[in-house]
Amino acid sequence: MPRMGERYTIPGIKATWFVPGRGLKRLSRPQAETIKLIDISVAGALVEAESNTGIEVGSRLQWELNGTEGVAEVRNVRVVDGVTLYGISYFRMEDEQKALVHRVVAKVREANNLTSQWERRHF
């Protein structure tokens, strides 16, 4: 599937997702795992996380971004130089999470002079 939006590298945002257990642990509460946000767009993000065979394309995981909650859907999984990268799209977002993502992307676009005059007027 082609990318739906430009992605931007964002340092300093805390991201966590909740990984379901495997085997007999499947019945236990999902475990929080800190993930590294590599880049972000208004449609999804690329994250680095521990390799987990329980996370595959189509998996839906609860996740938090700077304390805001949502559900992410895994769109692709790849290993690059021993690092596992997960491409996610936003399946469901709290209004606060949606606003945070839009603010962050708008700031990065403006800082890099990527925002058109139309977007400045209407964003």
Predicted TM-score (pTM) of the model is 0.77
- Is 8 among the domain residues? no
**Listed range (39-43, 79-83, 109-113, 114-118) with the worst mean pLDDT:** 114-118
- Tens-place pLDDT, residues 59-96: 999 999 999 999 999 999 999 888 899 999 999 999 99
The residue among 28 and 62 whose pLDDT is bigger is: 62
Over the chain, what is the mean pLDDT? Answer: 81
Note down the domain range covering 94.
15-122
The domain total for the chain is 1
Residue position matching structure tokens 């189509």: 58
Residue position matching structure tokens 């700031």: 107
Burial 25-37 (b: 16+ CB within 10 A, else e): eeeeeeeebebeb
- Is 1 among the domain residues? no
Is residue 25 over pLDDT 60?
A: no
| CATH assignment at residue 43 | 2.40.10.220
